Amino acid sequence: MSSAKRTAKDALLEFKVSGRQLALTAGGSWTADRAGDLERLVDAALKRARDAAAVDINMARVERLDTYGAWLLERLVRGFAAAGREARVVDLPERYRDLVGEAGRINLGKVAAARQGRLATAIAAIRRTAFGIGRDFVMIVQMLGALAIAGMRCVIRPWTFRFTSMVHHLDRVGWRATPIILLITFVLGCIIAQQGIFHFRRFGIEIYVVDMVGILVLREMGVVMVAMMVAGRSGSAYTAELGSMKMREEIDALRTMGFDPLKILILPRVVALVIALPILTFIGSMAALFGAALVSWAYAGIGPEIFLSRLRDAIELDDFVVGMVKAPFIALIIGIVACVEGLNVKGSAESLGLHTTASVVKSIFLVIVIDGLFAVFFAAIGM
Amino acid sequence: MAVLGNEAVIGVRDLVVGFGETVVLDRVSLDVLRGEILGCVGASGGGKSVLMRTIIGLLPRRAGRIAVFGADLDGLSEQGLRAIERRWGVLFQQGALFSSLTARQNVQFPMREHLRLSRRLMDEIAVAKLEMVGLSPDVRDKYPSELSGGMVKRVALARALALDPDIVFLDEPTSGLDPIGAGEFDLLIKTLQQTLGLTVFMVTHDLDSLHSVCDRIAVLADRKVITVGPIAAMLASDHPWVKAYFRGKRSRAIDAAEIA
């Protein structure tokens, strides 16, 4: 900061009223650094000028002027003009003429977006969300249809199916997911059994914990837990991959080369998921039962043989089938949601993040909805 | 020309920059004078962008000194460096707009950080800057992904100019623009430079830009600045690379036009 600037600090804009004539004297540096102070002075000057008929703005003592200063001068002039006063800018140094002229040509238009009332904003938000849900549903159905067609084509001409790609994705979403799924379902089985034992003990019927764990894990918990894990682990990865490919125009590039992105990118991914999820569900359920058996042994003294024989009595094949039948459908919905969200990514990094989050949240939500629908369905057919 | 004085706002002395084994710039010295548009040319991969990025502090240097506004960058405190950074604006080759902000928010971003202004004034100045770079009002609230390449460059220029800098660094401002768009952009830079009194350091490949807007041209070849001077000096130069660059096949048309 130079000393000149310091001394000029209080003299950015001075007022002098003589009769009905208002004289403004500008000075110092009308620059970005002082723009905040200057704006207040300009607004104050506009208020002061109510009674004045004519206004002179003397710019001779301005030491520096940049776009900020030029714009505020223009705002001053426009403000007076809007109030029906004539403002003259006098003694503007030659070197600032261009800039001030440039500022005079600025057409602000509508500067800030019109602010709506709170109620209107809320209604607009609800409307947007409702339409969003509707659009999501339509897109999921569209994707399902498109996948069905692509799948049919591959059935007719099997050699067009991207088998290698599918195996690659199967490795990623199936094989590599196995350890974490085993661990989590195992721990979950332990926890359910332990809680069950504590509660059943009060009635002296600890053995029924086997029934509870067996039915719970095989019918519901196994598939739902694994599906949530897969949605978080693999669904999000699908969305992020497809989204970044979309951002870099890779998907457009595929299309221009005559390839169908649906067939090349999406079908192998979804098929891999549909194969992987039942397998993961099966091993996950087994891990949960194993955990439950260990805990029953440790806490309630129910040995492995008793556990197994009780399990055989408690569950039927139907329970197992009910769990497993759901798995491919749930996989399909996770895959479709992930791919739809991926393809909806717009150009920005923020959009990629938003859609990845949306992909996981929507898949988990739909997993539970579908699980509920299946429960209603199986109850109706008596399974 | 628009050169107001001979004071150097950027002084580069004996600059050495390299990556690993390779030395990209070897003892480069260059002055950028107040109020001029300096074009920096050289072969692709010849270190033009490296020179620019080293001056603005994005790349480390092995040796040499850089002075900006007469202050040696090495001798400056963190705060002093910030104060200098506030006085320059940079237009990156790809625009480097923040993709999650609209055009207007992109321009407002530096103001928000460096100045204390009312919301209204920030809005107005941002709009003023976007107007000055020739963008229509409907662009203001669009996101970078919705803009064309030329618009992105203009928004990026508006952002580079947001704080009314004294120096603007432009990295290939006209690359990726059609000749008409590039011509308009050149004119824009010239106009802004004259109205705002800017000093412009421009890395470019565009012979038209060099002819029409640059006051002086610095040629980087063989890891050095081999010559600095106005376009006439370039055309008269005997150095084989300079000759090939300015008097090669692609420059014939311009030559012919100038002679006529």
| Domain boundaries, given as residue ranges, for chain A | 3-104, 131-380
Sign of dihedral through CA atoms B143, B145, B150, B154? positive
Q: Report residue A32: phi and psi, to 5°.
A: -55, -40
The range of the structural domain enclosing residue B134 comes to 34-58+78-259
Q: In this structure, is residue B7 part of a structural domain?
A: no
Q: Token pair for residue A334?
A: 């996770």
Q: In this structure, is residue B113 part of a structural domain?
A: yes
- Kindly give the pairing relationship between strand B63-68 and strand B71-72: antiparallel
What pLDDT score was predicted for residue A115?
59
Q: In this structure, is residue B68 part of a structural domain?
A: no
Q: In this structure, is residue B2 part of a structural domain?
A: no
Q: In this structure, is residue B12 part of a structural domain?
A: no
Q: In this structure, is residue B157 part of a structural domain?
A: yes
Residue A166 banded pLDDT, cuts 50, 70, 90: very high
CA dihedral (B70, B75, B76, B78) in degrees, to 10, reads: 160
Which CATH number does the domain housing residue B148 bear?
Answer: 3.40.50.300
User: Which residues of A lie inside 8 Å of B (Cβ-Cβ)?
Assistant: 31-33, 35-36, 39, 66-68, 71-72, 75, 95, 98-99, 102-103, 105-113, 346-351
- State ipTM: 0.75
Superfamily of domain covering A3-104: STAS domain (3.30.750.24)
Q: Do B100 and A111 touch (CB under 8 A)?
A: no
Q: Look at residue B160 and give its three-state secondary structure.
A: helix
Q: Is there a contact between A28 and A8 (Cβ–Cβ < 8 Å)? A: yes
Chain B residue whose CA is closest to A112: B123
Q: In this structure, is residue B15 part of a structural domain?
A: no
Q: Token pair for residue B180?
A: 């008409």
Q: Do A348 and B143 touch (CB under 8 A)?
A: yes
In a structure prediction context, what are the per-residue pLDDT tens digits for chain B, which is 260 residues long? Answer: 344 456 788 888 888 888 888 888 888 888 888 888 888 888 777 788 888 888 888 888 888 888 888 888 888 888 888 888 888 888 888 778 887 788 888 888 888 877 788 888 888 888 888 888 888 888 888 888 788 888 888 888 888 888 888 888 888 888 777 788 788 788 888 877 887 778 888 888 878 778 888 888 888 888 888 888 888 888 888 888 888 887 776 665 555 555 54
Query: What is the C-alpha to C-alpha distance for residues A241 and B90, in angstroms, rounded to an integer?
Result: 32
What pLDDT score was predicted for residue A309?
94
What pLDDT score was predicted for residue B251?
62
Q: Is there a contact between B171 and B209 (Cβ–Cβ < 8 Å)? A: no
Burial A237-246 (b: 16+ CB within 10 A, else e): bbbbbbbebb
Q: In this structure, is residue B67 part of a structural domain?
A: no
B146 interfacial to chain A (CB closer than 8 Å): yes
| Percent with pLDDT over 70 in chain A | 94
Q: Give per-residue pLDDT as tens, A255-265.
A: 888 788 888 89
User: Average pLDDT, whole number, for chain A?
Assistant: 86
Place of tokens 């299309």: A255
Q: Token pair for residue A201?
A: 């003990």
CA dihedral (B23, B27, B31, B37) in degrees, to 10, reads: -30
Residue A55 host element (H or E): strand A54-65
Q: Do B124 and A108 touch (CB under 8 A)?
A: yes
What is this structure's pTM? 0.63
Q: How many domains, in total, are found in chain B?
A: 1
User: Average pLDDT, whole number, for chain B?
Assistant: 81
Q: Do B195 and A99 touch (CB under 8 A)?
A: yes
Question: What ranges in A178-221 are assigned the alpha helix state H?
Answer: 178-201, 208-215
